[in-house]
Amino acid sequence: MSTPDSDEQPIFTRAGEATLTSRHVIPAGESLPDTAKQIVEDETILDGNARLNLATFVSTWMDDDAKQVYAASFDKNMIDKDEYPQTAAIEDNCWHMLANLWNAPDAEKSIGTSTIGSSEACMLGGLAFKRRWQQARRAAGKDTSRPNLVMSSAVQVCWEKFCNYFDVEPRYVPISAEHKTLDGHDLAKYVDENTIGVVAIMGVTYTGMYEPVAEIAAALDEIQKTTGLDIPIHVDGASGAMIAPFLQPDVVWDFRLERVHSISTSGHKYGLVYPGLGWVVWRDEQWLPDDLVFKVSYLGGEMPTFALNFSRPGAQVVLQYYLFLRLGFEGYRAVQQTSQDVAKFLSAGIDRLDAFELWNDGSDIPVFAWRLTEGHTKNWTLYDLQDRLRMKGWLIPAYPMPADLEQITVQRIVVRNGLSMDLAADLLQAIETEVAYLDALESPMPAEKPQSAFHH
């Protein structure tokens, strides 16, 4: 006879705790709440420690007040604008704040929305480009069957998805040791009358480097002079749009450049909110074609919505608002500066080791990458170092660079709020210890390439 469930029995001796059942079939009956909770907790303790995950750009720490704000709003659906008009108004406040932060000439004429992340935000930016281009071409009686989008070969995978899902030809400008980012060089070879726009990345995923948006805009100005083509820019500021305004206010990359029609960012990266939030803002309503916008009536008025998903958590938007109010400009500056100080401390420490050469040092966004010094060793690779560090709990991915540079392997650290100087010093020590271990090997490590935790 099977043991009846009773919460008086010691935990781990009860049905479901001391027995095995299929995890691919919903159990026939109920479990004790403690049993279900225990199983879930036990299975997830096998995950990596989020705070030691230096592969991700996404927030892994918020303060205790934020947790209360979160708990008080996790039942709100962002799409229910009639039911939650205040959450809708908060969303509106947030993207207006971003439009102002990104120097929109008149934020009251801008339009924006929250999204589930940068990927959705980028797709909306791409869709606006495509629709606007189609409308202009149709009006001129021209063919609309072959739109293309121009971007660096180091774009994040969301742009490959956009092109695939929405039938746009991707045109990748290869990066090289000489042109480490898309910088306007050779752009004329890639754009033509079917180009719906150019993507500029503020904080390239592979390395954290900024693409010089002003130089790209200047190259497009030249192209317009000679060909008449007026090609807009979308800035994919997944990380950098929440760093540059605070740490590099003199870098001109945003709506100060007229060619920049739209900017996206991840609220859940350097916006400092837990996963599930992105933003996209157009400098002026005219750049978001009206026929992409659905009107939802709320509070007696009409609320425009433009999104791929319908339901979405409202709590993340509320959390973003909490942080904008809690930190203000100066608080954000201090948080981002601290992350950058930690990044530079780590990159300087890594640069001191003979084994490594820095690709960049974290002075754009607090992200940097390095490679093995040529000729340093035949016995180990950065994949081996990744493995050794993982044994100590640190998740620090090694991966190949994009097309044309794929023979180069780099390793990358993303410094986020919550990687304290104290933890960083421990990490540097761990890297030194593991490098000394690997350098002492007398024969090569087995050549098997481990799985990379790189967020591409």
Ligand X SMILES: Cc1ncc(COP(=O)(O)O)c(C=O)c1O
Judged by CB under 6 A, the chain residues 324 through 383 that form the site for ligand X are none
CA geometry: angle 61, 119, 313, nearest 5 deg: 55
Stretch that binds ligand X, among 26-34, 118-126, 341-349, 357-365 (CB under 6 A): 118-126
Establish if 152 lies at the interface with ligand X (CB under 6 A).
Answer: no
Stretch that binds ligand X, among 37-45, 105-113, 200-208, 331-339 (CB under 6 A): 200-208
Establish if 236 lies at the interface with ligand X (CB under 6 A).
Answer: yes
Find all residues with CB under 8 Å of 33, minimum gap 6, and list them.
Answer: none
- Which residue reads 């797709």 in tokens? 123
Q: Cβ atoms within 10 A of the Cβ of 124, count?
A: 25
Nearer to ligand X, 59 or 87 (CB): 59
CB-based contact 287:119 (threshold 8 Å): no
- Nearest Cα residue to 267 out of 77, 80, 97, 50: 97
CB of 66 to ligand X, least distance (A): 19
Contact with ligand X (CB under 6 A) among 168, 238, 247, 335: 238
Nearer to ligand X, 312 or 388 (CB): 312
CB of 156 to ligand X, least distance (A): 4
Nearer to ligand X, 16 or 402 (CB): 402
Establish if 273 lies at the interface with ligand X (CB under 6 A).
Answer: no
Establish if 119 lies at the interface with ligand X (CB under 6 A).
Answer: yes
CB of 123 to ligand X, least distance (A): 9
Beta bridge partners of 235: 200, 263
Q: x/- contact string, 293-312, with ligand X (CB under 6 A)? A: --------------------
Structure tokens at 113: 């929305």
Q: At what angle do helices 421-439 and 315-351 cross, to 10 degrees?
A: 50
Stretch that binds ligand X, among 127-135, 233-241, 329-337, 388-396 (CB under 6 A): 233-241
Find all residues with CB under 8 Å of 17, minimum gap 6, and list them.
Answer: 11, 35, 38, 39
Establish if 53 lies at the interface with ligand X (CB under 6 A).
Answer: no
Find all residues with CB under 8 Å of 125, minimum gap 6, and list them.
Answer: 234, 236, 262, 264, 280
CB of 201 to ligand X, least distance (A): 5
Establish if 201 lies at the interface with ligand X (CB under 6 A).
Answer: yes
**H helix or E strand, kind and range, residue 265:** strand 260-266
Nearer to ligand X, 205 or 411 (CB): 205
Q: Total residues at the site for ligand X (CB under 6 A)?
A: 16
Nearer to ligand X, 410 or 435 (CB): 410
Contact with ligand X (CB under 6 A) among 278, 289, 362, 402: 278
CB-based contact 421:429 (threshold 8 Å): no
Distance of CA 53 to the CA centre of its chain: 14
Residue 330 CA to residue 346 CA, distance in Å, equals: 24
Contact with ligand X (CB under 6 A) among 57, 84, 95, 279: 57
Nearer to ligand X, 239 or 339 (CB): 239
- Which residue reads 């004790």 in tokens? 32
Establish if 118 lies at the interface with ligand X (CB under 6 A).
Answer: yes
Residue 386 CA to residue 373 CA, distance in Å, equals: 16
CB-based contact 99:281 (threshold 8 Å): yes
Nearer to ligand X, 103 or 239 (CB): 239
CB-based contact 212:201 (threshold 8 Å): no
Nearer to ligand X, 117 or 313 (CB): 117
Judged by CB under 6 A, the chain residues 204 through 223 that form the site for ligand X are 205
Establish if 158 lies at the interface with ligand X (CB under 6 A).
Answer: yes
Q: What is the DSSP string of 399-447?
A: EE-STTSTT-EEEEEE--TT--HHHHHHHHHHHHHHHHHHHT-SSPPP-
Distance of CA 159 to the CA centre of its chain: 12
Find all residues with CB under 8 Å of 415, minimum gap 6, and list them.
Answer: 54, 339, 340, 342, 343, 346, 362, 366, 367, 424
Establish if 181 lies at the interface with ligand X (CB under 6 A).
Answer: no
- Nearest Cα residue to 411 out of 392, 436, 386, 374: 386
Stretch that binds ligand X, among 231-239, 250-258, 374-382, 415-423 (CB under 6 A): 231-239
Contact with ligand X (CB under 6 A) among 87, 156, 181, 320: 156
Stretch that binds ligand X, among 218-226, 232-240, 319-327, 444-452 (CB under 6 A): 232-240
Nearer to ligand X, 175 or 355 (CB): 175
- Which residues sit at the interface with ligand X, rule CB under 6 A? 57, 117-119, 122, 156, 158, 201, 203, 205, 236, 238-239, 266, 278, 455
